Amino acid sequence: MKKRLGLVSLTLATAGILAACTGGGGTTKEKPQTLVISTFGLEQDKMEQDVFKPFEEKYNVDIVLETGTSSERFTKLKSNPNSTVDVIELSQSNAADGVSEGLFEKIDSTKVPNMEKLIDSAKDLSADGSGPAYTLNSIGIVYNKKTAGMEIKEWDDLWNPALKGKISIPDITSTFGPAMLYVASQHENTDITQDNGKAAFKAITDLSPNVVKTYSKSSDLANMFQSGEIVAAVVGDFAVPMITQSNPDVAYLVPESGTYANFNTININKNSKNKDLAYKYMDWRISQEIQEKTAKSLNEAPTNKEVVLDEETAKNKTYGAIAERTNKVDSQFVNENLENWINQWNRILNK
């Protein structure tokens, strides 16, 4: 397994990198470089197989990982910009905050040829020199068809009293927490950008009797469904296979009224000492070759427009018809209001 760096301490001392032994021809293989990647903690075995190991072999690299939620890792880098992290993968909102704080290298697209192959919405995201998006995801509803006691089709169904004490929603500080506020504002037929979330928090207050728990890591939902603690949840599509594969009664749906999208992005720490190698990894992550693999193994919707998914692979992804009915979450607007929203959210749901 890949070497990991905990969120408590980030040090390369544990990497223990040694030059390879002499080969059959008597020559010594060049000592590998080290690349420190901060990334999400999901499906690490599959990431190792499809993304990290092939990159290490192609470029003679040892990858060292820091894993955790987007918010945790971004906060850590923000508090220590001189961290040894070279590349960081973040949610769209955290990435936008990092750009405004000046934490990231302004990307020279000539060093990332695959950026020319991105879908238009991903290109727009990088127009200001931000790092490219490597996947697009969105939220939907997972629910247990046998134990929910009702059919769930739309966001408004989550407010049904029949679901009292039976659902889980993403915490406000998680990737899709702000999107949950957009859903709540939609429930009140209000544009959240017009009232800075006032109607949304009225809806969250009305929803609170149904919420048994908020979550920060979608991996926790599988156990909550398995134990019967919840019968429904709002979740990002990237986590759907992990939740549904262990319980055939749990189904996933994206309401016909629409969903809310998030790009996960790659950025380079402005203070990285390995920028050339970081650029190579960035280009690797958005290549057709890698995105064809991760679409299947990691349930990542591709941002490289040369990737075409068959019907089975496209299932449960922000792709095709689902991508067409996604709505934008304004990251700048979210970041301007987030501190106030966190306080209101905690008073209502995390007493």
Q: Report which of 183, 309, 317, 174 is spatially closest to residue 237, judged by C-alpha positions.
A: 317
Average pLDDT, the chain: 90
Q: pLDDT (tens digit, 9 = 90+) per residue, 215-248?
A: 988 888 989 999 999 999 999 998 898 899 878 8
Give the C-alpha separation, 35 to 350, whole Å: 38
In angstroms, what is the C-alpha Rg of the chain? 21
Give the C-alpha separation, 309 to 325, whole Å: 18
Q: Which domains does the chain have, with CATH numbers?
A: 3-136+262-326 (3.40.190.10), 138-260+329-349 (3.40.190.10)
Residue 1 reports pLDDT greater than 70:
no
CA distances to 140, 158, 203 from 152, in Å: 11, 8, 18
**pLDDT reported for residue 4:** 56
**pLDDT reported for residue 2:** 54
Residue 18 reports pLDDT greater than 50:
no
Give the C-alpha separation, 228 to 212, whole Å: 12
Q: How confident is the model at residue 317 (pLDDT cuts 50, 70, 90)?
A: very high
**pLDDT reported for residue 3:** 55
Q: pLDDT (tens digit, 9 = 90+) per residue, 84-142?
A: 999 999 999 899 999 999 999 999 999 999 999 999 989 988 998 999 999 999 999 99
Residue 25 reports pLDDT greater than 50:
no
**pLDDT reported for residue 48:** 96
**Number of helices (H) and strands (E), helices first, in the chain?**
15, 11
Share of the chain above pLDDT 70, in %: 92
Q: Report which of 2, 3, 1, 5 is spatially closest to residue 84, judged by C-alpha positions.
A: 5
Q: Structure pTM?
A: 0.78
| Residue 25 CB-half CA count within 13 A | 3
CA distances to 9, 244, 257, 330 from 155, in Å: 41, 20, 8, 20
Q: Tokens 């759907």 — which residue?
A: 240
Give the C-alpha separation, 211 to 208, whole Å: 5
